[in-house]
Amino acid sequence: GVKQAIKYMERLDIVLEEKPHLVPAMLTLTVKNGEDLEERFNHLAKSWKTYQGRRRDFKKKNRGFNELCKVDGAVFSYELTRSDQGWHPHLHAVVLLDDYIDPVQLSQEWKSITGDSFIVDIRKLKPKNTQDLADAFMEVFKYALKFSDMDLEDNWSAYMGLRGKRLQGAFGDFRGVVVPEKMTDDLLDDLPYIELFYKYIRGIGYNLENTIKQQPRPKNEEEIRR
C-alpha cells in the first residue's frame, strides 16, 4: 500500500505542475448494507462503472453532463466492512477536479444510478500538505478487508465473494501509474514513510496518529568504520 501511495503522490506532483488549476479531493461513495457480500459488491462496482460511462459519454459527445464530468482523473478502490446490519461496501477515490463538485447534486445522481443509496462525501485535499495527501492515498490503498476483524464464516464469505474481483482502478490523469511488482512495504532509502502510533486520551480511549517522516540516508562503509 505504501509503495502505491508514493507512486501516485509522485504522479500528482507532475500533474499539478502541468495543470495547476486542478484541485485534489477525496471522494467516497456507498451503497446500502446487505447480507449478500457478492451481490452488494457487484451492485457498487456496476453503479460506479455506470457513472464512469456517463462521464465518458459526455467527454466524447458533449451531452449528459453530470458531477463526475468535473473529474479530470481518479484513482479508486473498494472497501467492505461487516456490521450487525450486514456488509457495507464503499468506494474511496482521490480525484482531480477542474471544478468543485456539488455534493447535493452528486448525491442525487448517485441515488438515480444505484436506486437505493444516496450517501456520498467529497472533501478538498490540501496539495501542499503532505500529511493530508498521504492520509488520502493510504485510505485508497489500504486493504479492502480486515480479515482479522471477522470470524471464520465471514472470512470464508469474503474470500468466495471477492475472489477474482478487481478492487482498484484509475482513469484520466492517474491512468498508467507503474507500481513496483514487489509490493511488500519495506522501507525505501530517502523516501518519506508513514509512522503509526496510538496515544491514550483519558475519557476518549486510544487515538491513532499518523506522521510523515523522511527515511534517513544509509551510512556508507567509511562512516560505519568510524
DSSP state of 146: -
Largest CA distance in the chain: 69
User: What does the pLDDT read at residue 202?
Assistant: 53
User: What does the pLDDT read at residue 200?
Assistant: 46
User: What does the pLDDT read at residue 149?
Assistant: 59
DSSP 163-202: TT---EEEEETTTT----S-------TTSEEEEEEEEEET
The three-state secondary structure class of 71 is: strand
pTM of the model: 0.74
The three-state secondary structure class of 74 is: strand
Q: What is the rounded distance in angstroms from the CA atom of residue 131 to the CA atom of residue 212?
A: 6
Q: What is the rounded distance in angstroms from the CA atom of residue 67 to the CA atom of residue 101?
A: 6
pLDDT tens sequence for the chain (226 residues): 688 888 999 999 999 999 999 999 999 999 999 999 889 999 999 999 999 999 999 999 999 999 999 999 999 999 888 888 888 889 999 999 999 999 999 999 999 999 999 999 999 999 888 899 999 999 898 865 454 455 566 666 665 666 667 788 999 999 988 876 554 445 445 545 455 444 545 555 445 455 444 445 444 444 434 4
Nearest by Cα to 95 from 55, 40, 44: 55
C-alpha cell at 172: 484520466
DSSP state of 34: B
User: What does the pLDDT read at residue 82?
Assistant: 81
